[in-house]
Amino acid sequence: MPLPCLLKISATECALSFLFRGGWWCQFLEKDLKTNLPRKLHFDRCKLHTNLNAKLNAPGCGGMPFDLRRYLDKFPDVCESKFGRRYDLEDLEKRLAVLRDGKHMLTVKDVARIFNPEATPFAKYWPRPHTKVLEEALSKQRIKLGPSPVVRADLVGRLLAVFHNLGTASLILQFVYPEHFAIFSTPVIHLVNVTRPSLVDMYIAYCDELRLWADHFHLPSVATASTALWTYAELSKQLTDDPSATEARREFEEDIWIQRRLVSHVIKPFLRRNGRLQLAHILLDDEPRIAGKIAAEEYERLLQIASRRMYGRPLRREKGAAGQLFEDLAARNEIDLADMAELEFVWEMRNRAVHPEEQPVTPEEVERMVETVERVCLRWAASDKRFKDVRPSKRPRSSSDSGPVRGK
């Protein structure tokens, strides 16, 4: 029986919490417990000062182990350690905010502020544009960055036409529109794992991704999400024997939301181009059971299509329904006897892949399974028309046939 723990939520609310063996907390508000119970429960609000948030966010208790906001707070310390000074980037945002109104043109002075070594560290990463060359370029192609709202791709294209460097363009955009843009930073790109065919599309997708990170971790802007991730990258790349760096990497790698984001950038584009069976082909050597489950799901989807084309209804969930479908498909010359045997083999592999108590499938069996589904079943999805009945029809009885003929 799990032991209850009384938690103080506020001055007026308390909760009863059970910690189960699996590490999950189950909370009940006091108002929800006002029912007939076998014994009375007494809430002493004067003695209960347990922090509910700390319990919910503890590792293994359903909380979020990685807190990106913590790294935003560490940015000044990292800069002091790395560059020998602290920087006030918010002050630069305020100075360049005037460019949002659409009345002021981007000037050489604005760019100089961004690369001022007393105010930012960016000159250590990107070459500072030459003043005379930049003056000449901005006199020929005057750049307005407002009024807001703006089309982001247009802004990026305008700046690239003058600076010919996406890093420099992103610096300007971050300080003018921190809610929409971030510095195009290699460490951050590596962490969020965003790729696109063209540079501008990649940068826009990168900013969109950082918007999701900002929302998830309750950060005020795309720019602050980038700053926090850069700080994390700096702290986590320390020597492997540094406990704080090791802990930072562990928290990042164990955060389920982060891992979902990273995997989605790989899986979604792949599935759009190739499909599930191709994914099963790729996984079958390292993860044959997962590959078998993917192939089994696609197999069942195609069996449902075949059933609708055969009977006009989904395949019945009863023993022998699949076997009957195979026989009817063979009767209509949609498959042959060899195909029937292979489809029955696939069904057996499907059961072994789906049910953990069954004998594990091997990579060779899954490969045979996937190839059969591709060769035999995929064509069923090419049409939604009913399968033709090619069985010979009964010949009408004529008066010349032997045997008695019954009258009406």
pLDDT tens readout for residues 55-83: 434 433 344 479 999 999 999 999 999 99
Res 138 pLDDT > 60: yes
192 pLDDT band (50/70/90 cuts)?
very high
Lowest mean pLDDT among 34-38, 108-112, 266-270: 34-38
Res 48 pLDDT > 90: no
* Residue where the block lists tokens 């390292």: 286
Task: Return the pLDDT at 115.
Answer: 96
Res 229 pLDDT > 50: yes
Res 24 pLDDT > 90: no
Q: What is the mean pLDDT of the chain?
A: 83
Task: Return the pLDDT at 40.
Answer: 41
Task: Return the pLDDT at 240.
Answer: 61
Res 340 pLDDT > 60: yes
Q: For 212-227, what is each residue's pLDDT tens digit? A: 999 999 999 999 999 9
Q: For 142-155, what is each residue's pLDDT tens digit? A: 999 998 778 999 99
Task: Return the pLDDT at 391.
Answer: 56
Q: Cβ contacts of residue 72 below 8 Å, gap of 6+?
A: 219, 224, 227, 228, 231
Mean pLDDT confidence for 117-133? 94
d(CA 14, CA 29): 6
Res 288 pLDDT > 70: yes
Higher pLDDT among residues 283 and 238, named by residue: 283
Mean pLDDT confidence for 290-316? 95
Give strand pairing partners of 25: 19
Torsion on CA atoms 340, 343, 348, 354, rounded to nearest 10: -160
Percentage above 70 pLDDT, the chain:
79
Mean pLDDT confidence for 379-397? 74
275 pLDDT band (50/70/90 cuts)?
confident
Res 97 pLDDT > 90: yes
Percentage above 90 pLDDT, the chain:
68
Domains of the chain: 4-56 (no CATH), 68-263 (no CATH), 276-382 (1.20.120)
Mean pLDDT confidence for 308-327? 93
Q: Please tell me whether the peptide bond between 38 and the residue prior to it is cis, using omega within 30 degrees of 0.
A: no
